[in-house]
Structure 1
Amino acid sequence: MSEVTSTILVLFCLLQIKHMFADYFMQTPRMLADRAVYVHVGRAQHAAIHAAGSAIAFFLIGAPIGFIVAICAAEWVVHFHIDWGKARHGEASGCGPNDAGFWRAAGIDQALHQLTYIAMVWAWIYFVAT
């Protein structure tokens, strides 16, 4: 297996572990309240935790600092808006955990975050690894 391939697998693992902790262990009540409001400090903090975790992952694989800053700033913006869209949908639909629509929205939210990681790893391959 090539070094780049090994690094890609390690990076995906690091991003998955970061995602699990940031989304399921590190959210505070402030991050979870009033999420359908666009200007929301809690959501900004939540997206910042994700960006910081991704910065650590990219740092651990030796990505250049300029790349880390750019890719994590982009992730912050994307993550903020994915979560805002889910919150707006949830408020508009009124779906809760007992409704199928809630779980479809949660699945779309998580899929969009995973696609973001694919794009981030692609950017590392394109701009740094080759």
Structure 2
Amino acid sequence: MQETAFIVLAAIAVLMVKHAVADFYLQTPYQYLNKGTYGHPGGLMHAAIHVALTPLVYLLLAPASLLVAAAIALGEFVVHYHVDWLKEQATRRNGLTPQDPCFWHVLGTDQLLHGLTYVAIVGVLIWMAASS
């Protein structure tokens, strides 16, 4: 039981570090300035970087198959892209800036949804490992 808890916590930690790297160190102006334009390559590239780094967690929790890994990648891409796009829509349509409290509410909700996505990914991997 303790070993499983450690693996779960380590997997969440790896995904949170991955998120910080992809969102705050690798994200370029081309990406963040264009995430609010639906289908723009900058936003698609940003979501793809997140997906490309997620397999780091498979070192701790190996997926049961390549199909599971592909499904996780597709799911993360779709969710991450749309959460970011919706955040941009909310801030732009309401003219929100960092000086507005609501800007921080929107940003916090965005980050919360990304974090919950990682909890779901780890849940799927644990479920798949238990099923095999």
Asked if Structure 1 and Structure 2 have the same fold, meaning a TM-score greater than 0.5 normalized by the shorter chain, the answer is yes
Query: Is contact 2:51–2:73 with CA below 8 Å preserved after alignment?
Result: yes
Measure how far apart 1:25 and its partner are: 0.7
Under a length normalisation based on structure 1, what TM-score does the superposition of the two structures give? 0.91
SS at match of 2:85: helix
- Name the structure 2 match of 1:22: 22
Name the count of aligned residue pairs.
130
- Pair 104,47 (structure 1): closer, same or farther in 2 beyond 3 Å: same
Q: Deviations over 1:28-80 (max 9, x none)?
A: 11101132211111111111111111122224533345122221221011000
SS at match of 1:76: helix
- Name the structure 1 match of 2:85: 84
Distance in 1 between the 2:19 and 2:130 partners? 23
Matched, 1:53 2:53: yes
Query: Is contact 1:47–1:79 with CA below 8 Å preserved after alignment?
Result: yes
Query: Is contact 1:59–1:68 with CA below 8 Å preserved after alignment?
Result: no
Unaligned residue ranges in structure 1 (runs of 5+): none
- Name the structure 1 match of 2:101: 100
- Identical-pair percentage: 37
Under a length normalisation based on structure 2, what TM-score does the superposition of the two structures give? 0.90
Query: Is contact 2:83–2:110 with CA below 8 Å preserved after alignment?
Result: yes
Distance in 1 between the 2:63 and 2:22 partners? 21
Distance in 2 between the 1:76 and 1:85 partners? 14
